[in-house]
Structure 1
Amino acid sequence: MSALKTHPGNYFEDFSVGQVIEHATPRTITAGDTALYLALTGSRFVPGCAEPFAHSLGFPETPVDDWLVFHMVFGKTVPDISLNAVANLGYAAGRFLAPVYRGDTLSAVSEVIGLKENSNGETGTVHVRSIGQNQLGETVLDYVRWVMVRKRNKASPAPILNVPTLPDAVPVEALAVPDGLVLEAYDDARAGSPWRWGDYAVGEKIDHVDGVTVEEAEHQLATRLYQNTAKVHFNQYEQGQGRFGRRLIYGGHVISLARALSFNGLGNAFKIAGLNGGRHVAPCFAGDTVYAWSEVLAAEAMPGRVDLGALRLRTYAVKNRSAADFPGRIDDGYDPAVILELDYWVLMPR
């Protein structure tokens, strides 16, 4: 009999602080990937849609959507980090450091930076810092996430408690501006919005108005595009016997839908620069209709630039109700409609 050659994924006991995991299957980004991403999300931010516009900003070609880059890197990590996850809990300290273009090849490596066994003794929380690099070895993305992972054996001893201290937000001076970015020829009409950085006020809330219903086929296709193998998204036989009785929509698909919806009100937020924090508050299922709204948390001038500013936004995605009354946090929890809270920096012309 041959030895077992398949890999069931890592359980909580398999992780140790300081452990470094090089993830399999580097991924070359093609024009087909970017076209499919637009088809699945409906994103309209113009640098990723129009090559002449991208050239006018100093890009050699249309850059790959920042969230597509995130999902591709995230997908690499799933078989090793979260194949046996109960839930992906949150994000922090994320920076989008360099543009990615068609033809670039992305790979990922993660370091375990924290472990905490949960009180039920059946699961634990694993903190990892994941880095995405291109074929030149340049880091294009760096972020932290934490995930609840099942234990293989409840009787396994708990590891030494180690929970990392993470920043509330990425400092604006740590945000990366793409090399060669120029904004003199930035065209508001073609970008789809007259509102620039100085037109937004801290505390302002923006209802993005539109809603989109998530279909079973599209979220399955999107998650496969990123090679995310998490069982909760694909295995109806197994999930049918679980807590919800059905497959969960990948939370990253909700992030992308919220970003696409935010074009209506934030059309000049042409680049994601930092991921300060995020939480998948509640599950989303096929058939749910997603709406979104955003609040401006901060407006900062970019150091050394008179033409560029950064907005810190908190975007909520909600399901099966309008976002017109801005459902979000209530007391110590969230409005029942909220499925995503995301805190991030965008770049915008001044």
Structure 2
Amino acid sequence: MTSPATPARPGGTVLVTGGAGFIGCAISDSLMEAFDRVVVVDNLHPQIHASGARPAELNAAAELIIADVAESSTWDRVLEQVTPDVVIHLAAETGTGQSLDEATRHTHVNVVGTSQLLDGLNRHQKLPRRIVLSSSRAVYGEGAWQDGDGTTFYPGQRTSETLDKAQWDFPNAVPVAMKASETFPAPVSVYGATKLAQEHVLQAWAKSFGVETVILRLQNVYGPGQSLINPYTGIMSLFCRMAMGGKSIPLYEDGEVRRDFILIDDVASAIVAGAVSPRVQGEPMDIGSGEFQTIGTAAKLIAEHYKAPAPHVTGQYRQGDVRHAWADVTAAERVLGWTPQFNLSQGIDRLATWIDAQPDVKPA
């Protein structure tokens, strides 16, 4: 994986929660270049870290503290030895479908974990200059659509009744890109609701204490380094493993579901920019590739890479999935000076090449 462009160097200490995960490892090299000290707090959850060992991808100079962000004692322990100038809050349970079955777990980690962090910072009088939160496009739910007259409306979650009839889109309407300054958030998953709660808790707290906030709503992140054992990390690695085994990739609905697939390299550079940029804004910003692709297009590119059979449409659906999602990234470009660098074809090539090089990967 290539490192993001060398950032400005504010120096000082950065504290990264969940920093031994996919995104945390991807930003660790750049953070070591930008800060004097990088401290990572992560519980090395077995769903992500099967061996429980420190990830090799985490920069060797980063200090790793194995602890649970949702426990008050964690912050007493950490903040006794760390005075953060910037906090990057990545720690979260991320499974959209899983959150429906484990709502308490997701709420505890995502919401209580955030409030415990903030309470700890206040309790120890170690308020950082800035907190960067990795949020999610899941806060929008189905997002905004426009009818034939150009009027914007919010259709809400699709029902089983309409999905059983293969009515995938909303009649006589077109979807609109997700834009934090315009699109009203209306999550349709427990996970999305907890991410929106994170945003609200952080903003209310930070404004009271004069702490800068950078809230980045990430679209579908994928790429080298993502977990190949976690079934909730997204479809791209699963599609690669299916095609690797010579299978035809199954496409839910009609294969025309739109998604904004953003390579981890671009996500990493956005988060680092949020940590070091001299200019920030307190309101959320969207991070995506700058364009949408259909699930069918992504599957076709992966199948071609592996010379696998063409993908096939199944007509199945997953309850709680939104129909279309992609980002308007103009705010992040304007405020942070960040732009995505990789298109879908480049990203798939990087992901598949990395997966092919893994010694223990098995076809799905």
User: How does the TM-score come out when normalised to structure 1?
Assistant: 0.31
Higher strand share: 1
Calculate the TM-score normalised by the size of structure 2: 0.31
